[in-house]
Structure 1
Amino acid sequence: MAEKNNPDERSKPSLLEGWNTSANLVTYARIVLVVVYIVLTVMAGPSGRDDVTLRWASAVLFIVAASTDKVDGWLARRNNEVTELGKLMDPIADKLLMCSALILLSAFGEFTWAWAITALFLIREIGITLMRFFVMERPGGKVIAAAWPGKLKTVFQSIALSMYMLPAWTLGQTVEHPEYLPAAVVNGYYLVAYVLLLVALVLCLYSGFVYVKGTFFPSRKEA
């Protein structure tokens, strides 16, 4: 008697199926933007002191890339173009942008305890990404949807890193430009950015805990 194929295996789409959809093309463009952003930021130097113009350009590029992180997902749903490749590449593009910014700002020493904070972000992001792959490969594996702490984390992280990327120090008072912003205002600006980054870190770790708990210790309602 012929052995019947598992219907789940038979209907499982190829990873490259729909690679050229409009949504996936946007995702590829966002990854290219990350590469350009990295190059511009490195060329600009710490806080843009080597080239302020390039730092402004990289900051604007970061803000544009961060602001469009939902465009590809929206296109996929609107055009009914949700693909396995898109589900894989979309979050990777988001994490590449945020993690690149954290690493560059840490390398330039632009905020206190930079490497410790960045390490915690990276451990969580890499760990959860690997866990998602593990869950997806399990028979009957179910990917836990992003919860509100993770979505809030992205918002706070995007705002904080955008603020750090902008070379606000160039707007501070100098002997040549006494009409510029007082030092207290510029210092306050960076303090707000730091507080927002710490809030993002707390939400990052908490959302990671929620994901692990929901994946390995689901409640009866989730199971």
Structure 2
Amino acid sequence: MRDDSRSKTDGRRHSLLDGWSSPPNIVTYARIALVIVFIIVDIQAGPWGERGVGRRWAATILFIVAASTDKLDGYLARKYNQVTELGKLMDPIADKLLICSALVVASVFGEIWWLVTALFLIRELGITIMRFFVIDAGGQVIAASQVGKFKTLFECVGLALLLAPLGRLGVWYVISARGVILLALALCLYSGFEYVHGVLTGGRR
């Protein structure tokens, strides 16, 4: 009995690393590497790209590529039946690193309000910590809900608009970009509540 119990515990403990080198997970690792490059280029470009419009465009393209590949790893995972617990954990973390780093740099540059960034960070950090607690308790990683996916979409669209050095289009362009980000924030807070409610009630959505 003791050996069987240990075997079950060991299986649960190591299941997170199953399929760590699968193609979808490698794509996720590459996305995380792109985030680092994006941060460097974005900072070098300066607020609104004042230290280099070319660098700001490069940062925008890097952001869009990193955000778009989110669909690639998910597609590969489903097509080749390589959905893993590690992938379900790392995929949203890669999204959070990209989004949160873009928000922090934008707030440092005065392009978006710190309150908005703080609310995003609190929600994302809280959900990430909760995911680890769920795993530690022996549960499976709860995948992102449909609202959470829409939240990520609006975050990416809004930040891409804000990153693009198109300020010459007028103040309404900046207001529109910020409006999309605020909509994403509303979805962010709602999906966070939805996730917490799912954990507390034993949901596995």
Q: TM-score, normalised by structure 2?
A: 0.90
Gapped runs of 5+ residues in structure 2?
A: none
What is the rounded CA distance, in whole Å, between the counterparts of 1:204 and 1:92 in structure 2? 14
Identity %: 53
Q: Matched residue pairs, number?
A: 202
Corresponding residue for residue 89 of structure 1: 90
Gapped runs of 5+ residues in structure 1?
A: 173-184
**What SS class does the counterpart of residue 173 from structure 2 fall into?**
helix
Corresponding residue for residue 146 of structure 1: 144
The residue type paired with residue 181 of structure 2 is: L
Corresponding residue for residue 46 of structure 2: 45
What is the rounded CA distance, in whole Å, between the counterparts of 1:15 and 1:211 in structure 2? 20
What is the rounded CA distance, in whole Å, between the counterparts of 1:19 and 1:144 in structure 2? 18
What is the rounded CA distance, in whole Å, between the counterparts of 1:87 and 1:51 in structure 2? 37
Residues 1-223 of structure 1 mapped to structure 2, 5 A cutoff: 3-6=2-5, 8-12=8-12, 13-111=14-112, 114-139=113-138, 141-169=139-167, 172=168, 185-217=169-201
Q: TM-score, normalised by structure 1?
A: 0.83
C-alpha RMSD of matched pairs (Å): 1.9
What is the rounded CA distance, in whole Å, between the counterparts of 1:3 and 1:15 in structure 2? 23
Task: Name the stretch that deviates more: 68-77 or 143-152.
Answer: 143-152
What is the rounded CA distance, in whole Å, between the counterparts of 1:17 and 1:149 in structure 2? 28
Q: Tell me by how many angstroms 1:101 deviates.
A: 0.3
Q: Tell me by how many angstroms 1:209 deviates.
A: 0.9
Q: Tell me by how many angstroms 1:197 deviates.
A: 0.8
Which structure has more helix as a fraction of its residues?
A: 2
Largest Rg, 1 or 2:
1
Deviation string, structure 1 residues 76-103 (Cα, Å, up to 9, x no partner): 2222223333232211111110001000
